[in-house]
Structure 1
Amino acid sequence: MSIQNMINELTSRRSVIEQGNEEAVKKLHADSKLTARERIEELLDTNSFVEIGAFVQHRATDFNLSVKDTPADGVVTGYGTIDGKLVYVYSQDVTVLGGALGEMHAKKICAVYDMAMKMGAPIIALLDSTGVRLQESTDALNGFGQIFLKQTLASGVIPQITAILGTCGGGATIIPSLSDFTFMTKKATNLFVNSPNSLDSKSETLETIASADFHSKETGIVDFVCQDETSLLSEVRNFVNLLPSNNFEESPIFDTNDDLNRASSELNDIVTEDISAGIDMKVVISQVADNNLFVETKANHAESLITGLIRLNGQTVGVVANQSVDNDALLTSIACNKGAKFVNFCDSFNIPVLTFTDVAGYSATVAEEKSGISKAVSKLLCAFAGATVPKVNVVVGRGFGTAYVAMNSKHIGADFVYAWPNSKVAMMNSDSAVKIMYADELDNSKISTKEINNKTAEYEELQASPYAAASRGYIDDIIEPAATRKRVIVALEMLYSKRESRPEKKHVTV
């Protein structure tokens, strides 16, 4: 056979693989969905994708599988760039055996994981699969295990991002749970371990226990919910740009046209005499961020604690803030778990952490006690205390009790703590503190209302005032709210070369 004939055969074989099943592709398009390859093309820079393993096929023969053609074995794998940044990607092809995972399918995914780890590049999973390939049984189970192992080894080394673009059921749901961030479209997607008809409650449906809405609000598995596939892939592109490629890179720094000295009079206006009214932290964050841009993670989950990424003077910074409007400024178990995971991610990838604190204590409910809120708080506290990245805290309202201690306080290792002049830092609010200290006198009517008011004012001055905390070195400076952006940027610039060693150990046991 001549070389030209060989090239023609190569071209023909590759064309068959890339074009796929025409009828199946038409059905996808009719449902307003993209093919596995179209998703990659939409995600990556134009013409940057290089496929790996296009000619891989299954080798199983049981249950007539030998007569079934499986182009690329149902998953497209390779690498490319996003705005010039190297990334690895795998995209499951639902037109091939429903995108079900088998032995060779899994080996392809593991191969791109190995390359991503060697090159120190993010990996993006585009999931659309009916689950495990039953015809391959234990080989498929081994495939799942190998993928989970690769994900575990990659955790904290390279960013792992997952997008749910169809069905993700059974064991495959562990993939997004092992990832750092998960995106999901609103329609035509499901994420579930057990199908609704197998649950003890027969009233459940895919909409109630498997939808993007459910997982973004209830379980917190999904970080971002998008309208459609195109917008999702665009958001993934933007999000990847905010992250370093691996744990050896510093937090990315970009050019910015926003003045680092920009003051925000709106932050002065947001302060009220009634500290219990709370502060809308999303306004605070946006006013501080470059160009007022904030990418919030898990926005619909545990809304009393806000997490996300901003840029400050061009540098990516992680933000954790108590959302005290409509939430009574109380920490909950799910909020603590949400915050701990985010802080651990930032610490793993050298992203500085900025906190805005307005916390009055813990949510006092039976449900919280049953959930073991103290354990959840310990995880948040441990994440802040263990993080060695630059850490800056701004107390914008209340800082009460051990809830304040857990919120990146000076006591557990924050590098800089600033406070607004309206803030209060104490064991609890002054009214409650005085009532406890003078409980006997109040019970016996030995103290007047006027005296109680005087004692409350005295407690405010001696114990709850930010100046009292600053006099003891627990707060580094009291700043004008409008100057918050400038002061935080200056602090982070000073902390850029921070190096902090810790006792040698494998990991914490909390």
Structure 2
Amino acid sequence: MSAVFDVAPDHHLAARARLELLFDPGTFRPMRTAVGDGVLAGSGRVRGRPVCAWAQDGGHKGGSLGSAGGETIARTIERADTLGVPVVGFPHSGGARLQEGVAALTAYARIFRAQSLATVPMISVISGPCAGGAAYSPTLGDFVVMTQEAVMFLTGPKIIERVTREQISAPDLGGPKVHGANGVSHLVARDDVHAAELTRELLMFLPDRIGATPPLVVPADAPGHDPSDALPASDRQVYDVRDVAAALLDGGELLELAPKWARNLTVAFGRIEGRPVGVIANQARYLGGCLDAAAAEKGAWFVNLCDRFGIPLVVLSDTPGFLPGATQEQAGVLRHGASLLRAFARATVPRVTVTLRQAYGGAHIVMNSRDLGATLTLAWPDARIGVMGARQAVELVRRREIEAGADAALLAEAYAAEHLPVRIAAAAGFVDEVVAPQDTRDRIAHVLELGA
């Protein structure tokens, strides 16, 4: 039995079936089957590209991992890294095998080391229970895909109840709703078949290894409508920034990652003229597009990931600033905001920023501003950029006049007209170009072509 596995046995697809769903029909070739000890590994092709993969049999010896199975997983990751091809894992385990003691623990250590050193994309697909080391391992990779039936946690419900007297179900402890909201899971699938489809789609945005070129596909036209059509007439109204992104991308298609985590920031993969791009955008539907600690953490993760795999970035900036308050300070907004700043400042991939409506204060800087190293900064004609919004600004600089009875709204209107129009920032060189929304895709495509 496992040290931490206390979830009732389930009846999901066998390890072999999960691998067959991932690979192109007839291409899977197993490896080390005689010594797998509940782990089946091998290689095949995904849309014609070589990929290595491994899968655990959750019904083998209580779903525990022994030293032989651990060696198979580690060797599969190391082999993928040597070959320079992505690796996909299907963990389904309760953790280290009690009967093997320290030997089982060291098996996990070897897996963790192989993952930490790998220079190839690593995707974990969780379709059943995973606990202990089996839950740690996916978070060492690049992406986690969970099915609706999956659960993953360091310690299961029964042990938690025994130690802390807290009663909680496995889904409430570590189901896809939990990990979708905290950023552990990046994609949630309906079932094993859908998980394989999502994994195959995700692989098409990723290179074979760090330093390789992300795969190109046949270019497709954008939907054809003006991307600014998604913006409402009033700045106080919200909209879905994914509609703007879709208008800029091939076929209007984007694969959003971690949509339930830090909803005020959208991150996704898409393509422009057949080239993969990472899209990072303020989402006005949540918190008005304000940045907070969670959004900054999410953004830093995504920027670092895209830079590691050579995927250019398209930044859609529309934010009134960082969310203020004691809760944010306690959440470490300074640390997480600095992480996002550092990620953009260090990134070497081409990255284009488009200011859609507004960008104020530190949030303007942190969303890949020109002097943070952006390759190109664009703005739409009605955008506004400044230290802060007009109302907040006049409450500070014209406070005495307002206290004496001056109309704050009129003062704010005058301040906005004098200081915030994007033409002022562009005339001073802080924005490279003011472009019509319908010309945005063409300008981005040109930068990507030069950087190819």
TM-score above 0.5, yes or no = yes
| Secondary structure in 1 matching 2:65 | coil
The answer to whether the aligner puts 1:276 opposite 2:239 as a matched pair is no
Contact 2:265 2:289 in 1 (8 A): no
Superposition map of 1:18-417 within 5 A: 33-56=12-35, 72-154=36-118, 157-187=119-149, 189-199=150-160, 200=164, 202-217=166-181, 219-258=182-221, 263-265=224-226, 267-417=227-377
**Residue identity in the other structure for 1:377:** G
CA contact (8 A) 1:343 1:387 kept: yes
Offset at 1:489? Answer: 1.2
Q: Distance in 2 between matches of 1:54 and 1:170?
A: 25
Identify the range of structure 1 (435-444 vs 423-432) with the bigger mean alpha-carbon deviation: 435-444
Structure 1 residue identity aligned to 2:44: G
2:5 counterpart residue number: none
TM-score with structure 2 setting the length:
0.94
Match of 1:9 in 2: none
Q: Name the CA distance, whole Å, in 1 between partners of 2:165 and 2:296.
A: 29
Per-residue CA shift, 1:397-417, capped at 9, x if unaligned? 110001110111112010111
Given the alignment of the two structures, is residue 471 of structure 1 paired with residue 433 of structure 2, yes or no?
no
Aligned partners of 1:462 and 1:492: how far apart in 2?
Answer: 35
Say which SS state the counterpart of residue 58 (structure 2) adopts. coil
SS in 1 for 2:114: helix
Where do 5+ consecutive residues of structure 1 fail to align?
Answer: 1-26, 57-71, 497-510
TM-score by length of 1: 0.83
Query: Does the CA contact (< 8 Å) of 2:263 and 2:286 recur in 1?
Result: no
d(CA) in 1 for partners of 2:451, 2:417 = 32
Q: Secondary structure at the match of 1:125?
A: strand
CA distance in 2, matches of 1:203, 1:398: 46
Percent same amino acid at aligned positions? 30
Instruction: Please tell me whether the aligned partners of residues 22 and 196 of structure 2 are also in contact (alpha carbons under 8 angstroms).
Output: yes
Measured at CA, do residues 268 and 297 of structure 1 come closer, stay the same or move farther in structure 2, by a change above 3 Å? closer
Alignment-mate amino acid for residue 473 of structure 1: G
Tell me if structure 1 keeps the 8 A contact 2:146–2:185. yes
CA distance in structure 2 between the partners assigned to 1:308 and 1:473 by the alignment: 30
| Count of matched residue pairs | 442
Per-residue deviation, 1:273: 4.3
CA contact (8 A) 1:78 1:89 kept: yes
Gapped runs of 5+ residues in structure 2? 1-7
Q: Could you tell me how far apart the structure 1 residues matched to 2:112 and 2:295 are?
A: 26
SS across alignment from 2:423 = helix
How far has the Cα of 1:99 moved from its partner? Answer: 3.2
* Aligned counterparts of 1:241 and 1:316: Cα–Cα separation in 2: 9
Aligned 8 A contact 1:408 1:414 in 2 = yes
Q: Is the 8 A contact 1:263 1:485 kept in 2?
A: no
* CA radius of gyration, larger in: 1
Q: Contact between 2:351 and 2:374, CA under 8 Å: does it hold in 1?
A: yes
